[in-house]
Structure 1
């Protein structure tokens, strides 16, 4: 039986690097890369969607991984 896991993905070219997503992430899975865009550590991401809801640029979505 395979486990389905959701995780956040950031569309880097639209990210404004405001840090709102990192501020609301309960697992600390999001960091800012050189002040340019957000990066998600998928090993820490629990797929809660808080970052996607908080993103003012709407560049974060959740994907499913099996």
Structure 2
């Protein structure tokens, strides 16, 4: 299952860096995590773990809000 986590986080982070965040990016990230893990011979638990953890970098990024500066 550690392999699934590593694949999911790696793919998720790399694709978010390349394409940004959004609903279609999330779908592509999950789909690619499933395809790569299946291609590498992962079982059902590893595939599920890769897909679930691939979502985390996209959800974690989210919009960033800055506090107003003291001078304004």
- The TM-score range, normalised by the shorter chain, is under 0.3
Please identify which structure carries the higher strand content: 1
TM-score, normalised by the number of residues in structure 1: 0.26
The structure with the larger Rg is 2
